């Protein structure tokens, strides 16, 4: 497949997972990375550190884009009210987990936030899916969940790069695909369904999420800049 032709600046296609225990450490990392990262994902760890909204404001004041990755999962009305709290805060994406009713409620309340449905965590493989009681292969589960998410008003999905080609082949081009579990080199951690940078985009991803390969690098800014170089090369070749 060819890379996504969505009109996204190449430097914004890298989303850094800001998974650290304190806001102070998060701010230090953002300042260290400088212009090498334009887009940040804020998950549960930094949420539990306190000052989540204030930190979003701090990032936005520095021209950064924000992805709220809290995977909202509750009764539909509660999810609707939670998503509504994000309106007007400059948040680009928010993740929601769950069935059609939960996803629909989030979509109804999204305002200026794009809602991303979680299809299947990249830390799960076929064996885990069977343990959870699903009587289908991973690709079928992801495709089914993504199709329903689009039908109820979500803007996109979180999906492994392994399933992205099937999503692009079978679903509307409006669907935004964000691919986590990116490993620039051989994988040795808890992520199971991984791809590298180039394959993720060739498979149809619009954005990739990278955390540990940058955070654990000896020179974090250099690692991010190298990833940005590789992303730019993918899209330069596609033109």
β pairing state of 39-42 and 14-17: parallel
Q: What is the DSSP letter of 11?
A: G
The CA-atom distances, in angstroms, between 77 and each of 72, 84, 151 are: 11, 11, 19
CB 150 within 8 A of CB 172: yes
Query: Apex CA 230: angle with CA 208 and CA 121, to 5°?
Result: 20
Residues in the chain: 239
Q: Using N-to-C axis directions, what is the helix angle for 23-33 and 220-238, rounded to 10°? A: 60
Tokens of 6: 């969505």
The CA-atom distances, in angstroms, between 18 and each of 90, 166, 186 are: 17, 29, 22
35 Cβ neighbours under 8 A, 6+ residues apart: none
Residue whose token pair is 């654990």: 216
- Active-site hit among 27, 65, 71, 147: 71
Residue whose token pair is 């032709």: 5
Respond yes or no: is residue 71 known to be catalytic: yes
Active-site amino acid positions: 71
């Amino acid at each position: 497949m060819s890379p996504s032709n969505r009109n996204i600046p190449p430097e914004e296609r890298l989303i850094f997972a800001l998974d650290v225990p304190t806001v102070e450490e998060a701010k230090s990392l953002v300042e260290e990375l400088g212009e090498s990262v334009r887009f940040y994902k804020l998950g549960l760890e930094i949420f539990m550190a306190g000052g989540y909204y204030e930190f979003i404001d701090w990032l936005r004041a520095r021209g950064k884009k924000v992805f709220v990755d809290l995977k909202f999962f509750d009764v539909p009305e509660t999810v609707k009210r939670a998503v509504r709290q994000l309106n007007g805060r400059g948040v680009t994406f928010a993740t929601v987990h769950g069935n059609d009713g939960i996803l629909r409620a989030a979509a109804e309340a999204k305002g200026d936030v794009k809602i991303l449905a979680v299809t299947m965590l990249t830390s799960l493989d076929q064996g885990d899916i069977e343990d959870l009681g699903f009587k289908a292969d991973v690709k079928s589960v992801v495709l089914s969940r993504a199709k329903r998410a689009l039908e109820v008003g979500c803007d996109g999905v979180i999906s492994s790069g392994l399933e992205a080609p099937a999503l692009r082949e079978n679903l509307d081009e409006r669907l935004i695909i964000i691919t986590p579990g990116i490993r620039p080199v051989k994988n040795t951690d808890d992520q199971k369904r991984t791809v590298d940078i180039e394959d993720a985009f060739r498979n149809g991803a619009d954005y990739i999420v990278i955390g540990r390969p940058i955070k654990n690098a000896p020179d974090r800014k250099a690692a991010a800049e190298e990833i940005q170089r590789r992303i730019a090369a993918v899209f330069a070749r596609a033109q």
